[in-house]
Amino acid sequence: MKNVVLADRTELIEKALEIIENKNVLINLLARRVRQLNKNAHPFVPRLDQDDNISIALREVIEKKIYPIYRDKNDDK
């Protein structure tokens, strides 16, 4: 059972990397969203039976419900 979940998650990660190609940006976005979900934030995609918060966040990226916002370097001034 655990191997099936890991295989599904690997697929989700690969699909999410097609949308957000920079791994560091994807990891930061997922970490932030998982923290929100851990604090009972409402998911933007339906929760499936075996979904954990990481899988939900990955599906949100794949379905383009969440995305990074890049700030211009001049915004700090």
- Measure the CA dihedral 50/25/33/8, to 10°: 0
Q: Give the pLDDT score at 77.
A: 56
**Domain parsing of the chain, residue ranges:** 2-69
Which carries the bigger pLDDT value, residue 70 or residue 20?
20
Is residue 5 pLDDT above 60, yes or no? Answer: no
* Span 7-48, pLDDT tens digits: 689 999 999 999 999 999 999 999 999 999 999 999 999 998
Q: Give the pLDDT score at 28.
A: 97
Residues making up the chain, counted from first to last: 77
Q: Give the pLDDT score at 1.
A: 44
Q: What is the fold of 2-69?
A: Eukaryotic RPB6 RNA polymerase subunit (3.90.940)
* Least confident segment among 31-35, 47-51, 59-63: 47-51
